[in-house]
């Protein structure tokens, strides 16, 4: 399985980079993981709804260009479907069984995702009603993908 994680912005904090590196290493046993970073737009403190949409649209265009063809696309959105780890692992496994060889997860920037990106999503996924920094969300997502593969393969993993 090819898994692509498209993220807006770079990870600045060393501890987040180390966590991403660790989960990437762990996942290499189960899938081919690619993490694609697209540039984020500078976001002023005070912005109008028009400027906010413009920023999301610019970031969205960069995201759309990076989505591998024939991928099943998950967008991470606060309004998305909430699931538990076992159900998430079943979704990943079902995609494999149905012949899907590429999954793409998309994490937006600090303002979220553009409507164009949301519109191409095959599934909208939410990890919580809370808002997380997009850098931390990358770590959380990778941990859950790793947990899903451990569940799929009936391998032990701490709870």
**Residue 38: partners with Cβ closer than 8 Å, 6 or more residues away:** 6, 7, 8, 9, 59, 62, 63, 66
Which pLDDT belongs to residue 158? 66
- What is the reported pTM? 0.95
Domains, the chain, ranges and CATH?
Answer: 2-41+51-151 (3.40.1280.10)
Rounded to an integer, what distance in angstroms lies between the CA atom of residue 42 and that of residue 62? 14
- Each residue's pLDDT tens digit, 110-157: 899 999 999 999 999 999 988 888 889 999 999 999 999 999 999 998
Spell out a b/e string for 35-46, using b for 16 or more CB atoms within 10 Å of the CB, else e.
bbbbebbeeeee
Nearest Cα residue to 36 out of 123, 105, 139, 110: 105
Q: Is the pLDDT of residue 159 over 60?
A: no
- Asked if residue 45 lies in contact with residue 15, where contact means CB atoms within 8 angstroms, the answer is no
């Amino acid at each position: 399985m090819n898994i692509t994680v498209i993220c807006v912005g770079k990870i600045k904090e060393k501890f987040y980079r180390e966590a991403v590196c660790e989960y990437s290493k762990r996942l290499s046993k189960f899938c081919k993981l690619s993490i694609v970073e697209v540039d984020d737009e500078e976001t002023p403190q005070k912005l109008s709804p028009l400027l906010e949409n413009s920023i999301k649209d610019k970031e969205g265009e960069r995201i759309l260009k990076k989505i591998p063809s024939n991928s099943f696309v998950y967008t991470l959105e606060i309004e998305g479907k909430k699931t538990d780890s076992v159900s998430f692992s079943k979704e990943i496994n079902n995609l494999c069984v149905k012949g899907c060889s590429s999954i793409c997860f998309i994490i937006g920037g600090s303002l979220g995702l553009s409507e164009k990106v949301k519109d191409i999503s095959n599934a909208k996924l939410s990890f919580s009603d809370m808002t997380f920094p997009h850098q931390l969300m990358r770590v959380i997502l990778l941990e859950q993908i790793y947990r899903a593969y451990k569940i799929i393969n009936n391998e032990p993993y701490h709870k």
